[in-house]
Structure 1
């Protein structure tokens, strides 16, 4: 039986295992034939959507991995807009709205409100939090 999933990632892109575990889980569920509809990055997890992370040469580039996963499997990557703004992860639209001269939301990521997460909780078969 194929199921639809949304993942909620609360852990920062680096400094905890949470986001990497979520990515590995995402790969595994897709490999098993399930559908990953979206990944909602919340709290410190919004750092996964920053275009300004530069891991060391011998480290896994998790932001690029999320982008590739999204491109290959049509997965929505959503950062909580309120949590992202508090942590300096800003889309072009939010930068304009708030009079900021720059933005840094990585390509393939979008900013969304908690309503998007609530909708996913109502419409997906499974919501898994990391």
Structure 2
């Protein structure tokens, strides 16, 4: 089965941890993840600057490792990312910001990427939506 996973909640939320564990289970079960899509406050999980407390799981770092290790298509909504200060090098330069902070393995793109992936997948599973 092909899945698209959309995350709407920040990395310190239970929804972000559940989404990560769900994604791991999808692959462990022999299924495919067509795309991971971060939207709204979920974009913070793709920031290289998120720091978790020492006694907490660093969900943002775990997501980055998971995406890289499994060579997944990780997309951050560009509008939501810009609004929340999650920038790649091109956008940092475009908006004259001092630095980029998009973690490795992720790319900024439009909401259309979620729609396209949903058309290719059997299931769209969302975490943290309101």
TM-score of the superposed pair, with normalisation by structure 2 = 0.93
Do residues 18 (structure 1) and 18 (structure 2) align?
Answer: no
Aligned to 1:5: 3
- Answer whether contact 2:34 2:120 (CA < 8 A) is retained: no
Q: 1:65 aligns with which of 62, 68, 93?
A: 62
Q: Structure 1, unaligned stretches of length 5 or more?
A: none
Q: CA RMSD in A?
A: 1.0
- TM-score, structure 1 normalization: 0.93
2-structure distance, mates of 1:116, 1:97: 22
Are 2:104 and 1:107 equivalent residues in the alignment?
Answer: yes
Q: Shift in Å at residue 94 of structure 1?
A: 0.6
- The answer as to whether partners of 1:37 and 1:74 remain within 8 angstroms in 2 is no
The answer for the alignment partner of 1:128 in structure 2 is: 125
Which position in structure 2 is the counterpart of 1:31? 28
Q: How many equivalent residue pairs?
A: 127
For residue 78 of structure 1, report the CA deviation from its aligned partner.
Answer: 1.1
